[in-house]
Structure 1
Amino acid sequence: MNDFIHHIPACIDLYKEGDLRGLNLQNLGRYLEEKTGVPFRNQGNIYKKYSEKKLEALAKKLASIKVKDPGGKFSLGVPLQAEIDYERRRIRKPGWKVFGILYEGVLYQKLVSDLIFEGRLSLDRCSILFTNQLFGTWDRDNWRYHARVSLYGFPSLISIVGLVEAPAKPKEFYLRKQMGTPIESLKEEYEGRFLDHGDSRMTEVLKGYAMQAFLFHLTGDPFCEDRNCRLFNSHWQAEVLHSQMDGQYEFCPRHEAFIKELKDRSPFSSLSYLSTSCQEADDSITRIVNSRLGITNGNVPKILDGAFQKPKKCG
C-alpha cells in the first residue's frame, strides 16, 4: 500500500500553457476535488501575472533547452535570436501554433517550478501544469530522448501533445505509414484506436494522469501495475484507452482503498496545518468543510458553534 510521505495539500492548483484544444480544466479540477476531498483552483494561463522583463528572461531560457538531436546527449547552447523571438511570441499568445519542438523535460520542469514557487517550494499546494508543448527525457536503456506524456514532481507537467505523440500507436499503423499510405487515410482507417489532437476523449483520459500527479505529490509513487487501473503506466495508445476508459474498474481495489482513506483524512488534517502556517487557501476549502459539517447559508449548527474557524488567508 502506498504510504503518505507528505501531508495532504490544502489545495490543488491547475495551470495551463498554450491552446489545450478543448481540454476542460474545470472538469478535471472538479474530478480531483470529488475523488480526494482537496479543493482545486483553476489558475489559468501560467504566464499571465508576470512582467515583460521576467517573460523576456524566460524566453531566453526556453530557447536554450530545446532538444535538437534526440539521439544525442543534451547540452545547453546559446540560442539564436530567432529562437528567442519565437519563445517570446508563444508565451505571450496562448493560441500560438505548436511547431513540434521537443524540450528537455527536467529543465522545462525546473523553469516552471521557478515560475510557480519563486524559489520557495510549497508542499501545501499540489501544482499541475497542462501544456501543449512537447517535452522528453533521456532514456538510459537505448540512449536517446523520448517524448513523454507526463513528468511528475513539484510541479507536475502533463502534455496534451505528448498524450498523442508519446504512447505508441498500433504496429501496423507504422508499417502502413512506411509503405506510403497517407497519414490522413490511416487516421480514418484506425479512428478510435488512438488519441488525436483535439480528441473529445482527452479530458476523460487525463483524469487518470491528474490523479497520478496527485499521488506522486503524496507518496512519490504514482503508478499501478494493474492495466485496468487509471494509475497504470501506459506505453501504448491501446493501454491508455483501456486503463482510462474501458477498464474493469476505475481504480484497482488497492488504490480504491487508498483513495478512500485519502478522502476520509481530507480536508481536516490540511485545515489544522493550514490555520497555523497561514498557507494561501481558496474559498472552495470552506465549501467542502461546510458540506461535511452540515453548514448551510453560513449557519453553523449549535453543536459546532465556536468550534469551527474559517481558514486564514495570507496577504
Structure 2
Amino acid sequence: MVEQISLYRAPTTVTDSERLAAWLDERVDADVTVRERFLDRHADEALPSAFAQARVRSPYEPETGSEMFGVVRYEKRALSHPERAGGVLYDGRSLQDALRKRLPTGSLDHAHVVLLDRVLGTWGEHDGRWHKRVSVLGQPALISVPGLYEAPAKPESYYEAQHRHALLSGDTPPREVLENEVDGDFLVEDDPRTTAALQGYVLSAIHYLATGEAFCDDERCRLSNPHRHPGVIAAQLRAPAFCPDHDAMYGNRRE
C-alpha cells in the first residue's frame, strides 16, 4: 500500500506541481508532498556519467552511452543549468536505475514520482528501434514533460502537411510552422494544458506501485497510455475521466 508520495518538480517546464499534487491528493489515500527538483536534491559527482551512459546513440541501435569527456562535461553542465539542456534522448530504464540508487529509501510504501525535463525512451524488441515515452513506471517513476509533446504521434493532418511542405520546398519545415498551420487537437511545447494532461500519468505511477497494473486498456480512461495525440486529449482532457472500474477507485470527486 502506498502511504506517502513525493512529487519532484521540473522547474524548467510549465508544469504546476502544486496543482498536480492537489489533484492527486483528492484521489488517493496517501500523504502527498511536493519536493524540489530530484536532480538537485540527490545529485552527486557520478550522476553526470550516469546520464552520459544513458544517452541513446541511434534510433535503431540498442547500445547506449558515451564515455567521451565532452559528453560527460555536457551532462554535468546540464544538471547545473537545466535550461541549457535539450535535443538528447535517454534510455528511461537506465536513468531509472541510476536515480533509484539515489533514493533515500527503497520502501514501496513511499512512491517517488520524478518530473523530468528530459526526453525518455525505451527499446522496442519487436521492431528494433527506440520509442519515446511520457512515463517510465516503477520506483522511482519518471514522467517526461517534453515526452508529453514528443512521444505520442500527431494527427494525420500534421504528417500530411509535413509531406506537402517537403514536396514543395525539398525540406521539412520547423515544427513550430506546422503546429501553427495544422488544424488538429494535439499538445505543443509549453502547452497550457500540460498540467491537466499529466495528471493521469502521475496517477498511473501510483496505481502501478499499489496494484501492479501498468495501464488501463480502456482508451477513455486517464490511466490508459495512448500512442497518438488525439487519444491523449480524449483520455486526459475529456469526460469521462475514468473507466467504470477505475472510477470506482479514483472518481469519487468529479472533474
Q: Is the 8 A contact 2:122 2:133 kept in 1?
A: yes
Q: Is the 8 A contact 2:134 2:144 kept in 1?
A: yes
Q: Quick check: which has more Rg, 1 or 2?
A: 1
Do the aligned partners of residues 107 and 259 (structure 1) sit closer, same or farther apart at CA in structure 2, a change above 3 Å counting?
A: same
User: Residues of 2 paired with 1:260 and 1:229: CA distance?
Assistant: 11
Does residue 227 of structure 2 align to residue 227 of structure 1? no
User: Residues of 2 paired with 1:75 and 1:239: CA distance?
Assistant: 30
Q: CA deviation at 1:16?
A: 2.8
Partner of 1:92: 80
User: Residues of 2 paired with 1:197 and 1:97: CA distance?
Assistant: 16
Runs (4+) off by over 4 Å: none
Which secondary structure state, in structure 2, belongs to the residue aligned with residue 136 of structure 1? strand
User: Residues of 2 paired with 1:246 and 1:104: CA distance?
Assistant: 31
Query: Once the two structures are superposed, what CA deviation does each residue of 1:98-140 show, in whole Å capped at 9, x if it has no partner?
Result: 32101111101111111224xx411121110010101111111
Do the aligned partners of residues 239 and 260 (structure 1) sit closer, same or farther apart at CA in structure 2, a change above 3 Å counting?
A: closer
Partner of 1:251: 242
Unaligned runs of 5+ in 1: 1-6, 264-315
Partner of 2:25: 33
Query: Once the two structures are superposed, what CA deviation does each residue of 1:219-267 show, in whole Å capped at 9, x if it has no partner?
Result: 11132122221112200000000111123x1111111113379x9xxxx
**Residue identity (%):** 31
Which secondary structure state, in structure 2, belongs to the residue aligned with residue 228 of structure 1? coil
Which secondary structure state, in structure 2, belongs to the residue aligned with residue 137 of structure 1? strand
Equivalent position amino acid for 1:92 in 2: S
Partner of 2:149: 164
Equivalent position amino acid for 1:106 in 2: R
Partner of 1:59: 48
Unaligned runs of 5+ in 2: 167-172
Query: Once the two structures are superposed, what CA deviation does each residue of 1:187-224 show, in whole Å capped at 9, x if it has no partner?
Result: 11236611111000000011111111110010111321
User: Residues of 2 paired with 1:91 and 1:68: CA distance?
Assistant: 20
Aligned length: 246
Q: Is the 8 A contact 1:136 1:146 kept in 2?
A: yes
Higher relative contact order (CA 8 A, sep 6+): 1
Q: Is the 8 A contact 1:226 1:232 kept in 2?
A: yes
Partner of 2:97: 110
Do the aligned partners of residues 127 and 244 (structure 1) sit closer, same or farther apart at CA in structure 2, a change above 3 Å counting?
A: same
Equivalent position amino acid for 2:141 in 1: S
Partner of 2:169: none
Partner of 2:69: 81
Q: Is the 8 A contact 1:18 1:91 kept in 2?
A: no
Which secondary structure state, in structure 2, belongs to the residue aligned with residue 244 of structure 1? helix
Equivalent of 1:195, from 173, 180, 187?
Answer: 187
Which secondary structure state, in structure 1, belongs to the residue aligned with residue 123 of structure 2? strand
Equivalent of 1:11, from 4, 16, 30?
Answer: 4
**Equivalent residue runs for 1:133-148 within 5 Å:** 133-148=118-133
User: Residues of 2 paired with 1:191 and 1:132: CA distance?
Assistant: 27
Q: Is the 8 A contact 1:223 1:232 kept in 2?
A: yes
Partner of 1:302: none
Q: CA deviation at 1:47?
A: 2.9
Q: CA deviation at 1:180?
A: 2.2
Normalised by the length of structure 1, the TM-score is 0.73
Which secondary structure state, in structure 1, belongs to the residue aligned with residue 46 of structure 2? helix
Do the aligned partners of residues 225 and 55 (structure 1) sit closer, same or farther apart at CA in structure 2, a change above 3 Å counting?
A: same
Q: Is the 8 A contact 2:155 2:184 kept in 1?
A: no
Greater fraction strand: 2
Normalised by the length of structure 2, the TM-score is 0.90
Which secondary structure state, in structure 1, belongs to the residue aligned with residue 127 of structure 2? coil
CA RMSD in angstroms comes to: 2.0
Q: CA deviation at 1:56?
A: 2.3
Q: CA deviation at 1:18?
A: 5.5
Which secondary structure state, in structure 2, belongs to the residue aligned with residue 187 of structure 1? helix
